[in-house]
A and B are shown apart, each in its own frame.
Chain A
Amino acid sequence: GENVEQHPSTLSVQEGDSAVIKCTYSDSASNYFPWYKQELGKGPQLIIDIRSNVGEKKDQRIAVTLNKTAKHFSLHITETQPEDSAVYFCAAIIFNTGNQFYFGTGTSLTVIP
Chain B
Amino acid sequence: DTEVTQTPKHLVMGMTNKKSLKCEQHMGHRAMYWYKQKAKKPPELMFVYSYEKLSINESVPSRFSPECPNSSLLNLHLHALQPEDSALYLCASSQDTVSSYNEQFFGPGTRLTVL
Contacts and interface: CB of A to CB of B under 8 A. Distances in A.
B67 interface: no
Nearest to A49: B103
B42 A95 contact: no
Contact of B56 (A42, A46, A51, A98): A98
A100 B109 contact: no
Nearest to A31: B100
Interface stretch (A13-21, A57-65, A69-77, A103-111): A103-111
B103 A34 contact: yes
Interface residues of A, number: 26
B31 interface: yes
Interface in B28-50: 31, 40-43, 45, 48, 50
B42 A43 contact: no
B72 to A, nearest CB: 18
Contact of A99 (B4, B98, B106): B98
A108 B111 CA distance: 20
Interface string A78-113: 000000000101000101101111011110100000
B44 to A, nearest CB: 8
Contact of A42 (B98, B99, B103, B108): B108
Contact of B97 (A42, A49, A89, A98): A98
A88 to B, nearest CB: 11
B74 interface: no
A31 B100 CA distance: 9
A45 interface: yes
Nearest to B105: A46
A55 interface: no
Interface in A1-50: 31-32, 34, 36, 41-46, 49
Interface of B: 4, 6, 31, 40-43, 45, 48, 50, 55-56, 90, 92, 94, 96-109, 111
5 contacts: A43-B106, A46-B103, A87-B40, A98-B50, A103-B43
